Amino acid sequence: MKVCSRCLYSSNHPFGIVFDQEGVCSGCRVHEEKDNLDWEVRRERLSQILDGFKNRSKTNYDCIIPVSGGKDSYFVVDTVKNKFGMNPLLVSYNTHYNTLIGIRNLQNLKTKFGCDLMQLNINPNSARGLAKYTFNKFGSIYWHNHAGATVFPVQLAVKLKIPLIVWGLHQGVDQVGMFSHLDEVEMTRKYRKEHDLMGFEPEDLFKDSKCPSHIKEELKKYFYPSDQEIVDVQVRGIFLSNYIRWDSKTQHEEMIEKYDYHTNKQARTFNPYEDGHSLIYNNVHDHIKYMKFGYSKVLDHAVQEIRLRRMSRADGVELVKKYSNKKAESLGLFLSYLNISSHVFSEILVRFEEDRVVLKDYEIIESKQEKNKLNLKKNGKKYFLTNDFSKYEPIMHSYYKGIYL
């Protein structure tokens, strides 16, 4: 098992990862482009691409932006609408298990930016059935959310004849350097199948003779549009992170300041910005990932900060060690919601345990040069900003409360 000599990723990363002769991983090598490329030129390129799509679709929307109550949504909408003058249609797939902060953030998003929003709400019982089925089949409770969030924008693009979909961060590029920024990789059904859906498209599960018929009915809702429909509309999905020097933390802080984005302190990571909209993403789902692969989202967050030289590798290791073992608070509630006993839960998880690497195996080689390049915030200011919304208690919601509409 190899570990990158710069960041903390190891050779068992599920996307696949390459280490060069110096032991540096492909993710870190591509990350070097953030300091080597001329980002003005990249921005100009984005401007040219977006210009080409202005006032071109059949409706008066120039593009579709997939949003949620968290992650990069605010930044992408701000960039596309305010900085580049496009008229976007916001598209959201309700991933259920929403926190009140998440519901509020999404409502605030469409209000502050003045955008139209179309949302798909699969009924909660269907979601529950699918979560249980996929957990049994390949150990994932979140699969249907990935499936929905990645297909709904494409279904709408085809139906409404809006060719351009603008995504934020390309995870493969960001984590393991799957592509160079200069490759300008676009959305593909192939990437979705392999890396978002763990190798199982809804169409594949549908063909399984052992799949119960009520699940088959649900799966149909997640089917990708036909190739002919994609060709007819010439649907394309671009990623802003190929054209803008991505720095998630700084971008979020800008959104907090300008547009009152609310953060949500997490139990299993030090980063309260990204997944505050979901009750279970950094929680139960992350805990399951940790049991299967031996690493969790906090590792991804630490790697981002290490690569941007705001955190030392040693500090990163400490944080990962600290948070990886934190209890998934909603686990009990979630298991009762799915009607699975904790005994059965553990049994199922054991089946999917992959090549686990736990942090104590890491060798920490801290070089003085690396330490000097650090840019840690001083003056006692908190490293990550958090709101104090203790009155927000996470409860299992899958519908909007009247007050937010």
Partner 1 sequence: MLRQRVIALILLKGDLVVQSFGFNLHLPIGKLDIVLEYLELWDVDEVIVLDIDATKKNNTVNFDMIKAASKKIFVPLTIGGGISSVKDIELALHNGADKVAINAGFFNNDGFIEEAVQRFGSQCIVLAADVMLRGGSYFVWSNNHQYKPVSVTEWLRDAIRVGAGEIFINSIDNDGKKTGFDMDLMEIIEKNSSVPLIAAGGAGCPFHIKQLFDRIDSAAAIGNILHHKEHSVSLIKGYLVAKNKNVRGSHFLNYNDCIFNPNGELSPTEHLSIFFKR
Binding region for partner 1 (CB under 8 A):
15-18, 20, 26, 29-30, 49, 52-53, 55-58, 161, 163-164, 176-180, 183-190, 193-195, 199, 227-228, 230-231, 234-237
Q: Distance (Å, rounded) from C-alpha 390 to C-alpha 348? A: 35
- Main-chain dihedrals φ then ψ at residue 73, nearest 5 degrees: -45, -50
CB-wise, 157 or 280, nearer to partner 1? 157
* Smallest separation, CB 126 to partner 1 (Å): 27
Interhelix angle 342-351/286-293, nearest 10 degrees: 40
* Smallest separation, CB 152 to partner 1 (Å): 17
CB-wise, 119 or 180, nearer to partner 1? 180
Q: Which two tokens stand for residue 389?
A: 């919304």
* Smallest separation, CB 163 to partner 1 (Å): 6
What are the CA-CA distances from residue 127 to residues 58, 95, 97, 146, 260 (Å)? Answer: 33, 9, 10, 12, 31
CB-wise, 199 or 380, nearer to partner 1? 199
Report yes or no: 102 and 277 within 8 Å, Cβ to Cβ. Answer: yes
Beta strand pairing call for 88-93 and 236-239: unpaired
Residue ranges of E strands in 246-320 = none
CB-wise, 102 or 177, nearer to partner 1? 177
Rg (CA), the chain: 21
Beta strand pairing call for 88-93 and 164-167: unpaired
CB-wise, 55 or 369, nearer to partner 1? 55
* Smallest separation, CB 140 to partner 1 (Å): 17
CB-wise, 194 or 253, nearer to partner 1? 194
* Smallest separation, CB 220 to partner 1 (Å): 20
* Smallest separation, CB 228 to partner 1 (Å): 7
* Smallest separation, CB 72 to partner 1 (Å): 21
Q: Which two tokens stand for residue 321?
A: 């060690």
Q: Is 71 helix (H, G, I), strand (E, B) or coil?
A: coil
CB-wise, 140 or 266, nearer to partner 1? 140
The alpha carbon of 386 is separated from its chain's Cα centroid by a whole number of angstroms, namely 20
Among residues 245, 212, 255, 211, which one has the least CA distance to residue 70?
255
Report yes or no: 102 and 392 within 8 Å, Cβ to Cβ. Answer: no
